[in-house]
Chain A
Amino acid sequence: MTGVTGPTGAREAVTRAHHEEWARVVATLTKRFGDLDIAEEAAAEAFAAAVEHWPAEGVPPNPGGWLTTTAHRKAIDRVRRENKRDDKHQEARLLSDDEAPEPVGAIEDDRLRLFFICCHPALAPETRVALTLRMVGGLTVPEIARAFFVQETAMGQRITRAKAKIKAARIPFRVPDAQDLPARVSGVLAVLFLVFNEGYLATGPDSDPVRQDLTAEAIRLARLIRTLLPRDGEAAGLLALMLLIEARRTARVAAGELVALDEQDRGAWDPDLIAEGHRLVRERLATGQAPGRYQVLAAINAVHTSARDYRDTDWTQIVALYDQLVRLDSSPVVALNRAIAVAELDGPEVALAAVDGLADRLDGYHAHHAARADLLRRLGRSGESRAAYDRAIELAGNTAEVAYLTRRRDQLA
């Protein structure tokens, strides 16, 4: 095989295998050895071995199988090493490990188990995010630390502590019982949405306004969970939602400034992502099942991405979908977004009354003041609008959003 792929081809093959096989290798080993730590370490060693061997010896015909077998051997080496310290428990564990590894493909469910263990409710939300990115996504600890502006050592400790708790408290590596399943699936989806949102609306003055590495990773994981839970409407809804938002990514920021929906160049939207997102939304509608919040949010984004320009938007449909969303999610942020849509249907005065009604609950939220500022501007109340922009700018954490709000404020008469 040497010479067929060459060193460059081999490096690409390792990268591709890392994307496609990492979660499977970790999941297979976790199941086999009952230990996330052993699985993670052995998987990392197997990929390091691939980096070393594939360029010189050629890419094996079944990279996933090669990696699983190699990782399996590394894990047994480690267990044997620990075993020398006279450990009957390890001995017993090793006995069952002499059988050949299961063939790749028969073990799809193990990756689902991996999602559930990483997103377990007994772990803190930020720990769930870190553990999922490490164990399922295959990101390194320094990469995760950078993504969340945390010191590398602190991130390493967070992951180590989580693995220790999983082991000590026996958090199980299995698909939850039927009675726990819906809540646990939403827990997993919430983690993926958190990763996506951090990429999409990055906060912090030193952060890029949009971080494509994080949105891309979230979409990759959402595709995986959709494959693993093909009948789950919310998994499909979340993927559709991410795709329809991601489709507008390049049009959403220009020269470091956020571009509002009404000013975006719709020709720059990604037609493939939109087509895929619309297909998923139609698929869910066709089931006739009552949608959850991700599906309704995806449907709202499908209506937006169906309009040739802002004025063509079907606002009746958008407001109807927001009405549906309000019934599923009583958060004031949903009510705020509904009010913004109402402005297009019933005018800014009606919308402003609704926005003002949320003031006590959303006073610390920049988008509330940005929405007020825009409605006041449309009503010709420049002085009040300026004050609202000032407050929004003060509260906004995203650099592109601050730039946009500042320009809108400075354009006031």
Chain B
Amino acid sequence: MQYLFSVIAEGPAQATEEEQAAVDGFNDRLIAEGYWVFGGGLGETVSATVIDNRGAGEPIFSDGPYVESKEYLAGFWVIEAADLDVALRLAAEASQACNRKVEVRPFLQPE
């Protein structure tokens, strides 16, 4: 079962050196113990572009994030875990390592 860990930041997006070292250590453990699927930090929200191509005409590009808010997504992990108990324990470590709040959400399961 896969879970998305969203890193929710307030203030600076850039991790401090100390935070980065803790995240690197945590990532090594995720890989070694078979939880790692993918993960990474994201560029600042000002670097985002929103595309809307639902209409019949040309796609519309808008500069900036789809929603302006004080809290924003600063990075994420996709991890493989047996159940939510395992995922929550890893997320608690993730939050400590990156020193940010982390939201855990399951990927949809094929029925």
Contact = CB atoms under 8 A, between A and B. Distances in A.
Query: Do these two chains interact?
Result: yes
Interface in B30-87: 82-85, 87
A87 B111 contact: yes
Contact of A176 (B1, B85, B108): B85
B109 A172 contact: no
B89 A170 contact: no
Interface in B19-34: none
A89 B105 CA distance: 22
B84 A171 contact: yes
B84 A172 contact: yes
Main DSSP-derived SS at the B contact region: mixed
Contacts of B84: 120, 122, 169-172
A170 B83 contact: yes
Given A87-B111, A168-B106, A170-B1, A122 B88 contact: yes
B111 A177 contact: no
B106 A180 contact: no
A90 to B, nearest CB: 9
Contacts of A172: 82-85
Main DSSP-derived SS at the A contact region: loop
B52 to A, nearest CB: 28
A89 B111 contact: yes
A171 B83 CA distance: 6
A170 to B, nearest CB: 5
Contact of B106 (A120, A170, A174): A170
B83 A180 contact: no
Interface centre among A87, A169, A180 (most CB of B within 10 A): A169
Nearest to A172: B83
Contacts of B106: 168-170
Nearest to A173: B83
A121 B92 CA distance: 13
Contact of A180 (B85, B104, B105): B85
Interface string A361-379: 0000000000000000000
Nearest to B1: A170
A178 to B, nearest CB: 12
A83 to B, nearest CB: 12
Interface string A156-200: 000000000000111110101101100000000000000000000
A174 B105 CA distance: 20
Interface string B98-111: 00000011101111
B85 A177 contact: yes
A391 B80 CA distance: 55
Interface string A110-138: 00000000001110000000000000000
Contacts of B111: 87, 89
Contacts of A87: 111
Nearest to A166: B84
B102 to A, nearest CB: 13
A179 B89 CA distance: 10
Interface of A: 87, 89, 120-122, 168-172, 174, 176-177, 179-180
Interface of B: 1, 3, 82-85, 87-89, 104-106, 108-111
8 contacts: A87-B111, A122-B84, A168-B109, A170-B1, A171-B83, A172-B84, A176-B85, A179-B89
